[in-house]
Amino acid sequence: MSVAYETLLVEISGGICTVCLNRPQALNALNETMIRELDHLFDELAANDSVKAVIITGSGLKSFAAGADIAQMKDLSVEGGRKWAQLGQSVFRKIENLPKPVVAAVNGFALGGGCELAMACDIRIASSQAKFAQPEVTLGITPGYGGTQRLPRLVGKGRAKELLFTGMMIDAAEAYRIGLVNQVTAPEELLAAAAAMVEKIMKCSPFAVQMCKAAVNNGVDDELDTGIVYEAEVFGLCFSTADQKEGMAAFLEKRKANFTGR
């Protein structure tokens, strides 16, 4: 990466970029600098062909991200609050729409904006010590980084409203039970489990994975009839790739496919 970040630790190895939210003194709360740095970083990750997948985690054992920075938000005006939300929303949307898989490795508290960041990722893996909540109503506000929209899409309206209306905190087991996370691991195995997930995805055709992501993201909020039109388009596009020819030839020749990303 071309710049050093104040609030993020960024490491690229074997095609995987690991992004560590790094404000441990504030339990990795998302301040404006961190949001702007994520914005910049995800532009770089989109443009960097050597990066095939991204893992987002938090520094330390205690917290993924304990929400947006309350000290920075406390004196916002109506207009300032709207802009604060819009900035975070646009950055999280950029993360959600990165044309590469993004996995959240949730190592501890994922509260408010932290839970919203995890929900903007494609897949969530949680340490057994992770805790999730949208506690905004206990601060006199609503979620502002997509929580009112992504939570019901992930866990259904009834469960989302319970979490949103009460601010209650749930543990990793409950988050798994309601479908908020895909997998729960021992804390010391979290990063390895996230890497294993990413590596499993990276064995598949990158173009096909990218098209699956686009089809889900584009279709999930549309009518089924619109979504399946888009699906047919991306399905057709796959037949323009060498990976489709290789994948199907390998199946018929009873060998492992060797995808090149073309």
**Largest distance between two CA atoms of the chain:** 65
Alpha-carbon distance of 243 to 246, in angstroms, equals 5
Question: Interface with ligand CAA includes 116 (CB under 6 A)?
Answer: yes
CA distances from 227 to 79, 96, 114, 188 (A): 35, 18, 29, 40
Alpha-carbon distance of 93 to 70, in angstroms, equals 22
Alpha-carbon distance of 234 to 227, in angstroms, equals 11
Catalytic residue among 32, 136, 189, 231: 136
Q: Tell me which residue has tokens 């790739």.
A: 241
Question: Interface with ligand CAA includes 164 (CB under 6 A)?
Answer: no
- Interface residue with ligand CAA among 111, 125, 151, 191 (CB under 6 A) is 111
Provide the minimum distance between the beta carbon of 49 and ligand CAA in the complex, in angstroms, as a whole number: 33
- In the bound state with ligand CAA, the residue whose beta carbon lies nearer, of 47 and 71, is 71
Q: Quick check: 84 and 68 in contact, CB under 8 A?
A: yes
H or E element, residue 106? strand 102-106
- In the bound state with ligand CAA, the residue whose beta carbon lies nearer, of 35 and 103, is 35
Provide the minimum distance between the beta carbon of 142 and ligand CAA in the complex, in angstroms, as a whole number: 8
- Interface residue with ligand CAA among 143, 163, 180, 209 (CB under 6 A) is 143
Question: Interface with ligand CAA includes 252 (CB under 6 A)?
Answer: no
- Interface residue with ligand CAA among 38, 52, 64, 67 (CB under 6 A) is 67
Q: Checking DSSP bridges between strand 8-13 and strand 16-21, what pairing results, if any?
A: antiparallel
- Interface residue with ligand CAA among 53, 66, 172, 193 (CB under 6 A) is 66
Question: Interface with ligand CAA includes 35 (CB under 6 A)?
Answer: no
CA distances from 186 to 27, 124, 127, 191 (A): 20, 14, 6, 10
- In the bound state with ligand CAA, the residue whose beta carbon lies nearer, of 116 and 122, is 116
- Judge whether 136 counts as a catalytic residue: yes
> CB neighbours of 183 closer than 8 A, spacing ≥ 6?
124, 125, 126, 176, 193, 197
- Interface residue with ligand CAA among 88, 101, 206, 247 (CB under 6 A) is 88
Provide the minimum distance between the beta carbon of 20 and ligand CAA in the complex, in angstroms, as a whole number: 17
Which tokens go with 14?
Answer: 């074997």
Question: Interface with ligand CAA includes 145 (CB under 6 A)?
Answer: yes
Provide the minimum distance between the beta carbon of 11 and ligand CAA in the complex, in angstroms, as a whole number: 24
H or E element, residue 218? helix 206-219
Question: Interface with ligand CAA includes 106 (CB under 6 A)?
Answer: no
Question: Interface with ligand CAA includes 47 (CB under 6 A)?
Answer: no
Residues near ligand CAA (CB under 6 A) are 26-27, 29, 66-71, 88, 109, 111-113, 116, 135-136, 139, 143-145, 147
Residues annotated as catalytic (active site), given as ranges: 116, 136
